[in-house]
Structure 1
Amino acid sequence: MSQTTKKALAASLKKMLAEKTLDKITVKDIVEDCEVNRQTFYYHFQDIYALMEWIFVNEAAQALDGKKTYDTWQQGFYQIFEYMLNNKAFIENTLHSSNRDYVERFLYDTTFNLLLEVVKEQAANMKVTDENKKFIANFYKFAFVGIVKDWIRSGMKEDPEKIIDHIDVLIKGDFKKALETYER
């Protein structure tokens, strides 16, 4: 029952975010839409921001669906784009609110986790510190997220496959080269 309630609260928030920014939504709006009391909301979440975080954490895991290898990172990244397209109003209205850091944190965390797995895979049998692996993933994370944020700001019009193809051309073999440099 607990997951069902959380999903209902999340669906309500996402529905409202299709019409207005996060700044304009209250807990009262959500509980009235779900036909539950405020106590039920606060039993599950501390505030609306905790609900936002729950949505991003749970849906990010589904969006990536195990696509965290060198051969599948493009599919994982594409699934992030697809998630955002399928939740366009939710993403845009969150990004255009004063609480845009939830979308940005979702993007940074999800992208970092995807890239770190790719870097670790490429570093197999190499003597590279975890600190250097994280640095490489962090470096590329900022490039990826910058591109995604620009794509969102421009209305999500460009074909995600085209964007990913461009990124793939730029980084083909770069993870391995960076790791080899750090190994020396």
Structure 2
Amino acid sequence: MKHSDETKRLLASSLKELMKIKPLEKISIRELTAHANVNRQTFYYHFEDIYDLLKWTFQQETIQLLAVHESTHVWQEGLLQLFRYLGDNREICLCALRSLGRGHMKRFFYADIHNIFGRVVYEFGEKLKAPEEYMAFLTHFYTISLGSLVESWLLGEMDQTPEEIIDMIDLFIQDQLLGAQQRLKEEPR
């Protein structure tokens, strides 16, 4: 691992420790760098601000879970790993959610989740010969929906387990795709 990556991980670890004891907006760069035992210049070499570090941390720790399981056959396992990560890091994630607000947290992950679910939707869409516009809409829909579901679960607004949520999402996607398949068969070409 490069020294640069080690420094970023050290800063991320320090941020997570501080987020367990205080709100994100109360954590200063000075406090963070003292906790990590690096100077401020080092922090600014790698990140623009605390929020940039937080985004990097989440991307490093969560998006790789989804990317490993991005095919149409194993995305469910990647999503389950994401739920487990969020559960294991609930304090930190809730701190970020409270500090940033609901909409901002979703924006952290939008592009990555969009890419992953886009691959799944496009793979099915190509088999169905679905129009590009329709596949783009479905990808956006699933991305927004998944972000909201994960957020709602994290806040304790849902009683279902991650496994139950994933089963429902999978069933919903299958129903959607079967419905699209049926509709496309019936449409005149």
TM range (shorter): 0.7 to 0.9
- Where does the alignment leave 5 or more consecutive residues of structure 2 unmatched? none
After superposition, the Cα gap between the structure-2 partners of 1:181 and 1:56, relative to the gap in structure 1 and judged at 3 Å, is: farther
CA distance in 2 between partners of 1:34 and 1:156 (Å): 36
TM-score (norm 2): 0.84
Contact 2:12 2:53 in 1 (8 A): yes
Per the alignment, residue 75 of structure 2 pairs with: 73
1:166 matched to 2:168? The reply is yes
Question: Partner of 1:69: helix, strand, or coil?
Answer: coil
Bigger helix fraction: 2
How far 1:164 moved relative to its partner?
1.1
Q: What are the equivalent positions in structure 2 for 1:16-165 lying under 5 Å apart?
A: 16-98=18-100, 101-154=103-156, 158-165=160-167
How far 1:182 moved relative to its partner?
7.1
Q: Which protein shows a greater Rg?
A: 2
Contact 2:23 2:99 in 1 (8 A): yes
> CA RMSD for the aligned pairs?
2.4
Deviates most, 29-38 or 49-58: 49-58
Identity, in percent, stands at: 35
CA distance in 1 between partners of 2:13 and 2:157 (Å): 23
After superposition, the Cα gap between the structure-2 partners of 1:79 and 1:37, relative to the gap in structure 1 and judged at 3 Å, is: same
Contact 1:123 1:176 in 2 (8 A): no
C-alpha distance after superposition, 1:23-45 (max 9, x if no partner): 11111111000111111111111
Contact 1:120 1:133 in 2 (8 A): yes
CA distance in 2 between partners of 1:86 and 1:79 (Å): 10
Deviates most, 138-147 or 98-107: 98-107
Per the alignment, residue 12 of structure 1 pairs with: 14
- Where does the alignment leave 5 or more consecutive residues of structure 1 unmatched? none
After superposition, the Cα gap between the structure-2 partners of 1:139 and 1:98, relative to the gap in structure 1 and judged at 3 Å, is: closer
Question: Partner of 2:69: helix, strand, or coil?
Answer: coil
After superposition, the Cα gap between the structure-2 partners of 1:155 and 1:181, relative to the gap in structure 1 and judged at 3 Å, is: closer
What residue identity is the alignment partner of 1:41? Answer: F
